[in-house]
Amino acid sequence: MSYVGAIDQGTSSSRFLVFSAETGDLIASHQVETHSVYQQEGWCQQDPKEILDSVLLCIESVVSNMKQKGLDILQIKAIGITNQRETTIVWDSKTGEPLYPAIIWLDARTKETVEKLIEKTADKSMSSFQKVCGLPFSTYFSGVKLRWLLDNCKDVCFAVKERRCLFGTVDSWLLWNLSGGVDGGVHATDVTNASRTMLMNINTCKWDDDLCSFFQIPKEILPHIKSSSEIFGYMKCGSLKGVVISGILGDQQAALVGQKCFSGGEAKNTYGTGNFLLYNTSKVPVFSEHGLLSTVAYQFGPDEPPTFALEGSIAITGAAITWLRDQLGIIKSASETEALASSVKDNGNVYFVPAFSGLFAPYWDMSARGAIIGITQFTTKGHIVRAALEAVCYQTKEILEAMNKDSGIPLKQLIVDGGMTANNFLMQMQADILGIEVARAIMPETTALGAAIAAGKAKGVDCWKASLTKNNFSYFKPKLDEEARKNLYAKWKDAVKRTFSWEV
């Protein structure tokens, strides 16, 4: 039996998973938590070396586990990488050392940088380059974070001048290190990750000269853009030395692939630290009029055309539950939320808008701040937890409404994945708020599966034989009547308005 490995490097943990190339079944996995540092309000960063070390530890742990089971690790034919997107890393090509901590995707320190860049455009609009790169100006995207580093970090500037600075998203950092590092490491990325920088032309899938000039970012520090499924390089370290690295996808695009959403009009929603709803628009980029992003969904080989997607991004969903646990101590673990939310008959008129670092789609208001509205002396922690879960559902509805307007074809079913989908209360509430069926994948590891598919299908590897037909699902059908649904959503919209432009 042949196997394909998948590195899944997320915001809160790193994992390595091995799948059967014949059946797609999960064979072995290991997970290591990673740590974020919040130095100042709105800042979120991680140690790039910890990210790398956690991945290496996961690989070695899985190899050890497979050997104990009597499984042949020589049958691991390829490795794919999927990663938290937009997170920005710069490092020294001569020493391999990071020049600055990794600036995480939800970090909002670049608010002033965004304002200066918008002021620099001809029309003073946040959407000035959206038809070129698919994205509005936002603290979210890597190009803005890189501009901040060049403006604020002397070590980065010196390294650029001395031609020893390399930039990459997490996939590039991992690939470079795993394929040799200072000893010939491959400096590359794939189209899905490059499409999240504001520096790639979404129409050509190449770094755009005009965008790089506008941001004043030298192209020589950028990784080479490749397809999502081709040979990038070979492992040069650890127990899997010599295994080909042949697939890279940003985590949300990997989930789209793992859910087998290969046809135009199919969509999935991933519930994690944030929520990300991707809608396959086939071979043509669709530019949103309602606050969504245009992005590359995947490209299976350098000679194949890319497939595009509309995306709705929500910054804080699962992260709000983490906040309730770590900052307020309302819960001890995320697993408690289902019972707590179910312990109250309704939300008690409490609404939680988790705009910790502003609001992403469809508002793109980086000056919004979080609020818990409607509390009284009768409010319990059950109401607060329920409001946090309901917020996930309302925000998803906002994205779905925008997507339906842009596509002109309302979704009749929402396919979901991610850690939060294990919460049955959340899934039923999501169906109730949307008024459509929610389909939860039985096999939860769809993101890693997507990376494995991309790696196993690559030309020259060609070992993926498992079916690419749809996964098996469990279903949640709406039970709430239309009037109740409208009333809840109207109150949510009112709560959101009260968070706008709080930090000006």
Tokens of 102: 């990794």
- pTM of the predicted protein model: 0.91
Task: Give the separation between CA 396 and CA 485, rounded to whole angstroms.
Answer: 14
Task: Give the separation between CA 315 and CA 277, rounded to whole angstroms.
Answer: 12
Residues of the chain falling short of pLDDT 70 = 504
Task: Give the separation between CA 84 and CA 86, rounded to whole angstroms.
Answer: 7
> C-alpha distances in angstroms, 121 versus 78, 124, 212?
44, 5, 14
pLDDT in tens, 101-131: 999 999 999 999 999 999 999 999 988 999 9
The residues near 272 (Cβ < 8 Å, ≥ 6 apart) are 10, 11, 251, 317, 318, 418, 419, 420
Residue 504 is predicted with a pLDDT of: 66
Q: Sort 155 into a burial class: Cβ within 10 Å, 0-12 / 13-18 / 19+.
A: middle
For tokens 């965008």, the residue is: 211
The residues near 483 (Cβ < 8 Å, ≥ 6 apart) are none
> C-alpha distances in angstroms, 63 versus 20, 28, 76, 242?
14, 9, 10, 14
Residue 174 is predicted with a pLDDT of: 99
Residue 411 is predicted with a pLDDT of: 86
Task: Give the separation between CA 256 and CA 446, rounded to whole angstroms.
Answer: 8
User: Going by DSSP bridges, is the β-strand pair 413-417/437-441 parallel, antiparallel, or unpaired?
Assistant: parallel
Per DSSP, the chain holds a count of helices (H) and strands (E) of 15, 23
pLDDT in tens, 445-455: 899 999 999 99
> C-alpha distances in angstroms, 476 versus 30, 261, 425, 431?
30, 19, 10, 6
* Spatial CA neighbour of 401 closest among 349, 436, 426, 439: 436
Query: 50, 32 in Cβ contact below 8 A?
Result: no
Residue 278 phi/psi, 5-degree rounding, is: -115, 135
Q: Where are the beta strands (DSSP E) in 157-283?
A: 165-168, 188-190, 200-201, 206-207, 224-226, 229-234, 244-250, 267-271, 275-282
Task: Give the separation between CA 496 and CA 196, rounded to whole angstroms.
Answer: 26
* Spatial CA neighbour of 144 closest among 205, 93, 217: 217
